[in-house]
Amino acid sequence: THRDMGPRSTYIGPEAPTEDLIWQDPLPKADYAQITAADIASLKTQILNSGLTISELVSTAWASASTYRESDRRGGANGARIRLAPQKDWEVNSPAQLQKVLSVLEKIQTDFNAKSGAKQVSLADLIVLGGSAAVEKAAANAGVSVKVPFNAGRTDATQKQTDVASFALLEPMADGFRNYLKTRYKLTTEELLVDKAQLLTLTAPEMTVLLGGMRSLGANYDGSEKGMLDIEKDKLSNEFFVNLLSMDTKWEATSDTKEDFVGKDRKTDKQKWTATRADLVFGSHSELRAIAEVYASADAKERFVRDFVAAWYKVMNLDRFDLE
């Protein structure tokens, strides 16, 4: 069967089917010239000066790209289907915030395309570029100069090219990277986090650094303080791991469900922070704690940023079969 092979562009051999099937999430071909390095730099500046926050840009890019599933090679940022039904209405994507971000990016796209001649930029590319620009800005705020690689060439799908019924199955049950849990399941929250990570082909270190980075970038789906742990705003730093592993804090469940926890000062018993199982697993699981301790080290600040950028770039390009 070719059900799990992804789009037709990934087929190999003379007997491969020739039709595009709707559940393969077909994409239009780009009939225009791609943006240049100078255009990319200019667009990054426009996005960062647009009034959108680092958190909003990061959250939107992650929401778009993290739908990818290696199991059937569906989802991903290419196509910008995050602006279409059903994805635009998913609770995990914070629809009101999403619409705000997309409206700003669409204006930047319209203005650029009206003046660029043969060159055009897709909204799919702008969404990823905005997230990457925000990551670079947050890293600079933390004192680390880094450039997130970017490959233009994504296109924008139409609603007609998106099968709402089958695409609805991509809605995440949970996304620990954004501290989202749709409802309680027999599977634990940390098991759902690992499942999400394996669908994104992430290794244990990649999963660890991405979650810590997403916390430092304020990317919780509902803007909550869970897992924030007094992290300094708009800085891509390793503070999440430093504070999580501190022996000055003791953690207690807030209810019998043991989903949410409060962190209290071990000496004064005063509440300091809140967190979820998706946060605390990096202190309780032996392998994940070992990785977290590496990133919590005083000399690991730059390594943390560079490892985050590498893992971020990987997720943003999981569905770019044209680059393989």
3, 52, 8: which is closest to 321 by C-alpha?
Answer: 8
Q: Is the peptide bond before 86 cis (omega within 30 degrees of 0)?
A: yes
% of the chain exceeding 70 in pLDDT: 99
Residue type, 1: T
CA dist 5 and 288 (Å) reads: 32
pLDDT digits 0-9 by tens, 221-232: 999 999 999 999
Asked if residues 59 and 221 have their Cβ atoms less than 8 Å apart, the reply is yes
CB count in 10 Å sphere of residue 74: 20
- Alpha-carbon distances of 179 from 24, 76, 160, rounded to whole Å: 29, 20, 32
Which pLDDT band holds residue 6 (cuts at 50, 70, 90)? confident
Strand, coil or helix: 12: coil
CATH number of domain containing 140: 1.10.520.10
- Same domain as 152, residue 218: no
- Same domain as 212, residue 158: no
CA dist 70 and 10 (Å) reads: 13
CA dist 244 and 228 (Å) reads: 10
195 found inside a domain:
no
- Same domain as 33, residue 128: yes
pLDDT digits 0-9 by tens, 134-178: 999 999 999 999 999 999 999 999 999 999 999 999 999 999 999
- Same domain as 291, residue 269: yes
- Same domain as 218, residue 284: yes
- Same domain as 301, residue 318: no
Structural domain count, the chain: 2
CATH number of domain containing 221: 1.10.420.10
Please tell me what DSSP assigns to residue 322: G
- Same domain as 222, residue 159: no
The more confidently predicted of residues 123 and 22 is: 123
190 found inside a domain:
no
pLDDT digits 0-9 by tens, 107-116: 999 999 999 9
Phi and psi at residue 169, to the nearest 5°: -70, -15
Phi and psi at residue 191, to the nearest 5°: -65, -40
Range of the domain at 217: 201-309
Phi and psi at residue 195, to the nearest 5°: -65, -45
Model pTM score: 0.97
CA dist 302 and 175 (Å) reads: 26
- Same domain as 265, residue 205: yes
pLDDT digits 0-9 by tens, 186-210: 999 999 999 999 999 999 999 999 9
- Same domain as 315, residue 243: no
Q: Which helix (H) or strand (E) holds 310?
A: helix 301-316
177 found inside a domain:
no
